[in-house]
Structure 1
């Protein structure tokens, strides 16, 4: 596919807005002024918005009336190959034009909320962030040079970082407003917001990554398989290894040291396809973490070995899809929980822990300093943001690694180091030497891989089921309650699906399906 196949750039639309670009404070926000008329009278010269800004303004109309130009993974892959200056400029102008349109639709959704919901401080904060981003992006002139593109990338990077507070603030706002809005409307609103958020971050992060790679001295090297944020050699074996060990580490920390169950992997584990690793890894991590947690809580240890029932992952490569089935014997999902599995509103109290989380990128990378781990290490949440750099939440592929035999996990560290960008291991001997301890049993008709999470740690284990004694599962982790709904949004975004079937009293099967060819357009509501 040539560069001309990339979605066409819509013409720039002039926006008549205030010349002030200062950040919005709570006292200058539109809803504050609507509810505090005295502030408008006392400071008319400082008024930035009128009530019409929220409900009757016409600034959004030209953008809301424009159609969104959706893309596919395949388009991103073909367009990103052999990047040249003219293609990079075209990508910048596409992102520059598309982001304000997508933001305008979400701002209009906020304006359609009941007034009492819109006055919630958490909802209002997100609305103001979206409006600020819309104003800044809609004013960017046409990008004509690489210098223009660099300045645009700095703006986009700053907005991405500012918007890391969106998910926690939305969750808290929904929790507090659950009595004032029907549950089905809450679910539609949240799914729209999260899908649109994914779409904007994909566009922004893909362009940032293309720019970063283009500006690097070795940007013409393509052997590492990354085109922007898309990896063209995703393999189920590697993805499950990373997510299973990280999920086991999370459960081990959250339980105070109880060993998680082993993971058995079979099927088409070496199939290759193109995908955004952040998306698929987030889904599988959430599914595996839930399975491990239920097995550790309800699983019956084997009478002979004392081991918990293992989790079975089967990978099937179909004509058009890659399907992951995750099966556990963790007692199944209770009926009252199953009824609200995908809802954001039916059990709003589950979002209460977002009060302890200031920022959330909804990627597996941030799990390296997870809430449960920080709690066990005695780290306050306010310290986490201090330990991150200015680019938190934006994970760009590094330059190609020079050591082709490097493994995914460093054996010298007791903490698992997630390095999905390391090159694939060259042989099974390399795999067996890594601290992740994959072992593969082969026969003429069957291949089965066993992940033993306990061998990836050198820390002392808490006595439990492995030494013949009993250890009651005590969940100390910090649950946010958004993992499964967010996982389904990720799965459906590129034309996939996520389904959960449970047998209460026995176990649960989860099916995650992904499009193999990347030829499905983005799935989000305009």
Structure 2
């Protein structure tokens, strides 16, 4: 017996020594794992993670997609009855769309859903779902006013969703296939746009109905806006407006003496189409920002190497507008040197590969994000109105206009993928071609007629994730 115990003690000592040696070798990896674990274990699990029968009832319902034309036609002759119909559509549609996204999150791997940021988004979604599903049928203007206050509260609370999702996705890199993370993120963001569109359109119609100048049943077809839909987005005007803002951003980021590229526009300069202006401004603003920054930085590098003639201006950013019977295509061309080869594979991805740690640090400085052009403005300009186009009538209190504190040179890695989500939402597209060492061509296609339904991801697509 003593010999057996001594043998065990010796073996134990050897195992302890070996473990110590392994610990010295793996200490760096263990510290990294520890930091990763803290991201996931610091958030207590909500009992709402458990599937409940009430969620099953709403998931069994299908979303009812709408088009820009439907939004316009519905709002042109606004009456109290139509306003009640709009309220009840939103009342049933919001919890339906929220339920599908909650179920999507429940199907993620457990190690992903325990991420603190994704868990917080889940709680926000469940709280909104639980609130909206309990709203009774809207029968009076007073009922509608109370409902609108609930909508405004939820829209404001959900301004944290995009940065939280982005941080969660970056932290989960390696725990789930990058393609699956991107599918999930695209589905969540597209659904988020869909909910905000119908919610903010109803808020806008309600504000119109209560406006002192409004007469129930009066035609609104001569107005620039019907709710949130801008009837006549003139591509040239939007580009010029976004271009001036982008050039102002560049001066703030690089200094007042920096040479800023000119923005030239040609093609079908009268092309126009119905669209939600904040969506279009965000897309154009991000694309121009990338183009201008690329040209400025390449021009500075070339000047430092003596490649540029003295005082030579940077090459312009050239924009061509092409109008067809069905679509408007906007091409943005720059000579900013193209996209580096190591970045190109991650261009449209929300999980940014080697750049994820830096982007995580940057996202930590952006607690809220509405994803509008106004978020590109300098901090000194914040607090402005949601649109630079004037309305003849007072506009609604638009939660999409809330500004973040994003500095002009803070890169988040979300501009291009989020712009493509916006473009594809109304059946458009966004494509990019890079010529390394030369420049970039970006093509934005927009459905001109406004008759395409919002593009909602089906459950079958998400089931494949």
1:279·1:490 contact (CA, 8 Å) conserved in 2? Answer: yes
Match of 2:369 among 355, 360, 367: 360
Q: For 1:357 and 1:173, how far apart are their aligned partners in 2? A: 14
Answering whether residue 161 of structure 2 is matched by residue 166 of structure 1, we say yes
Deviations 1:430-473 (A, max 9, x none): xxxxxxxxxxxxxxxxxxxxxxxxxxxxxxxxxxxxxxxxxxxx
Give the 3 Å change call, closer, same or farther, for CA 401–218 of structure 1 in structure 2.
closer
Cα offset, 1:174, TM superposition: 1.3
Match of 1:331 among 325, 334, 337: 337
Correspondences of 1:435-454 after superposition (within 5 Å): none
Deviations 1:286-321 (A, max 9, x none): 111000001001135774861100010000001200
Match of 2:144 among 123, 146, 149: 149
Gaps of 5+ in 2: 1-41, 395-400, 402-406, 459-465
Deviations 1:69-107 (A, max 9, x none): 000011111111021100000000000000000000110
Cα offset, 1:364, TM superposition: 1.2
Q: For 2:309 and 2:393, how far apart are their aligned partners in 1? A: 46
Cα offset, 1:119, TM superposition: 1.3
Answering whether residue 315 of structure 2 is matched by residue 309 of structure 1, we say yes
**Counterpart residue number, 1:269:** 269
Q: For 1:524 and 1:202, how far apart are their aligned partners in 2? A: 12
Q: For 2:375 and 2:226, how far apart are their aligned partners in 1? A: 22
Match of 1:517 among 442, 449, 452: 449
Match of 2:419 among 487, 490, 494: 487
**Following superposition, which runs of at least 4 residues in structure 1 exceed 4 angstroms of deviation?**
31-34, 394-399
Cα offset, 1:198, TM superposition: 0.3
Answering whether residue 237 of structure 2 is matched by residue 238 of structure 1, we say yes
Give the 3 Å change call, closer, same or farther, for CA 226–166 of structure 1 in structure 2.
same
2:259·2:313 contact (CA, 8 Å) conserved in 1? Answer: no
Rg bigger for which structure?
A: 2
1:168·1:360 contact (CA, 8 Å) conserved in 2? Answer: yes
1:209·1:397 contact (CA, 8 Å) conserved in 2? Answer: no
Cα offset, 1:178, TM superposition: 1.2
1:351·1:481 contact (CA, 8 Å) conserved in 2? Answer: no
| TM-score for both structures, normalised by structure 1 | 0.71
2:333·2:441 contact (CA, 8 Å) conserved in 1? Answer: yes
Correspondences of 1:109-508 after superposition (within 5 Å): 109-220=104-215, 222=220, 223-257=222-256, 258-299=258-299, 303=309, 306-347=312-353, 348-349=356-357, 350-368=359-377, 373-374=378-379, 400=392, 477-508=409-440
Deviations 1:84-142 (A, max 9, x none): 10000000000000000000011011111111111111111110000000000000000
Q: For 1:297 and 1:398, how far apart are their aligned partners in 2? A: 34
2:278·2:387 contact (CA, 8 Å) conserved in 1? Answer: no
**Counterpart residue number, 2:91:** 96
| TM-score for both structures, normalised by structure 2 | 0.80
Q: For 1:144 and 1:212, how far apart are their aligned partners in 2? A: 17
Give the 3 Å change call, closer, same or farther, for CA 476–246 of structure 1 in structure 2.
closer
Q: For 2:454 and 2:67, how far apart are their aligned partners in 1? A: 6
2:320·2:330 contact (CA, 8 Å) conserved in 1? Answer: yes
More helix as a share of residues: 2
1:255·1:476 contact (CA, 8 Å) conserved in 2? Answer: no
Deviations 1:23-52 (A, max 9, x none): xxxxxxxx9665xxxxxxxxxxxxxx74xx
Match of 2:101 among 93, 100, 106: 106
Q: For 1:143 and 1:246, how far apart are their aligned partners in 2? A: 42
CA-atom RMSD, angstroms? 2.5
Q: For 1:56 and 1:276, how far apart are their aligned partners in 2? A: 36
Deviations 1:388-423 (A, max 9, x none): 9xxx9x879986169xxxxxxxxxxxxxxxxxx9xx
Q: For 1:310 and 1:396, how far apart are their aligned partners in 2? A: 24
